[in-house]
Structure 1
Amino acid sequence: MRIQQLEYLETIVKMGSINEAAKALYLTQPSLSNAIKELEKEMGITILNRSKLGVSLTNEGREFMIYSRQVLDQVQLLEGRYQKQVVRKQAFSVSAQHYAFVVHAFVQLIKTVNADEYQFTLRETETDNILSDLTNFKSEIGILYLNHFNERVMQKLFKEKDLIFTPLFTALPHVFVGRQNPLTKKEKVSLDDLVDYPYLSYEQGENNSFYFSEEILSTIDHKKSIKVSDRATIFNLMVGLNGYTISSGIISSALNDDKIVAIPLDVDDSMTLGWLKPRQSKLSSIAETYLKMLKQHIRGYGFEII
């Protein structure tokens, strides 16, 4: 086994295609494919599922990648220590449901990075994609919520995909509305108060199960319903259409210009927000720093870290 083979494999997994990885590595597709086949033969496992649509990791491949990443991290540490002329980009990636506190901590993290070059990725994405990003090593950390409705199903998926969920904090549901919405006059709103307002929620792509919804009470039928794909759009619709969504109650005024207001929702429910990682992987120092900043930001809104 050669370090170069592990680096090739990491690029393939990142690109999701041997052909695209070959272009990025300036190799021919057959030579790259053969290098991975030799690695599989030597290890005695099948690392990649190959199809016309691209490649994905097998269960054995996901486990192998955990150890491969640790080897490559150690190689980079050695090169950074003894090859001073080599410039290494700091890298970090997080996949999350649509939460302002996730973005705020990400911004703080980048501001503290002491490096001339870095490659950071923040994916605000569908719930199923968070799990996929972690199992395929596109992200180091995933952030989502559990409650009494989805917990059993989600925990089963975490176990199947060998992921660990660590709680961060528990929040009571809040309704997010534009500052000019008449509901802002209320200290607390009920479901009946919301009937005539457009309900805004995030679409979940092909896996549109109620259990994957980012909003609690996802099985309730609504007279007016609008699905969106990004946080900027959902905020614009809150302001422009007096729409609402349901979330944790944390709003970052620094990012949202005080246009959005959170009002407690009078329901018997709660949300436990937390972070995910592959069970056998060890967090990088950058990931540890990000989690520290995330917790500081959450505490700043009066929540207690679990």
Structure 2
Amino acid sequence: MTAVTCVRTLRTALLQYHLNLCRSSSLQKDALLERQAQMMSRGLPKQKPILGVKQVVVVASGKGGVGKSTIAVNLALGLAANDVTKTVGLLDADIYGPSIPKMMNLKGHPEVSDKNLMRPLVNYGVACMSIGFLIEETTPVVWRGLMVMSAIEKLLRQVDWGKLDYLVIDMPPGTGDVQLSISQNVPISGAVIVSTPQDIALLDARRGSEMFRKVNVPVIGLVQNMSVFQCPKCNHETHIFGADGARNLAENLGLDIIGNIPLHVNIREASDKGQPIVVSQPQSNEAKAYLQIATEVARRLPISSE
């Protein structure tokens, strides 16, 4: 065999070797992708409706302190007030900072049914459940993630809600485990994003909106809280937190602003007394703003098939 023939034979062998390697690598890659897809399909939680609940509406914010819980409370009461034929529930999913018990003027521990399910506490015609009913008012919740998720699972699945047309969930602020778990485990009809007009809050509101889009939860719209302050003495209006930030954000995200809530002392006083403004001062301009939001939310929700 000549040197030229040897070189050609060697080249052919090397080429065949590389082809075999590429083919093997491609097959291994395809097999790996298939295994990953199978594992992900097994690992993703399957959404399971909450027994007796037709539609779930979550109220969320990218950061704390923007009035999310006040909006959730008055939204739930507004949904009930706008249509007396509808039954409404309110779930406090803010484990570390439960405020629904105080705002709804509810105290005490839930009773347990024969089926070992907790019965919600009721006030103003709205059934409520909160971790605040299970701990002392001044006791801090110092829990790690697994305990928090276990508590959320109990609040979702071990409560006898009866028959509800709407369940409003007051989410914790941010985009963490609780938001992700609820969004992936429960079919949510829509999310309401709450923000103040200031730039920092709007930046976090954008993150919240994008999170819901990633988990395929429809965003109903944006509520601009503390939109304007009106002096109680001279009625002069001041945009303390800015004027057009929320509107610009809504346009960029392709969302609608479904309501503007002013910064008003009546709202704060009513909430602190456990007499939300929608029920204690229903004819006030502030209450009418919440009722309008409730109307928009109900109008934009998909028609329930149940």
If the length of structure 1 is used for normalisation, what is the TM-score? 0.31
Larger Rg: 2
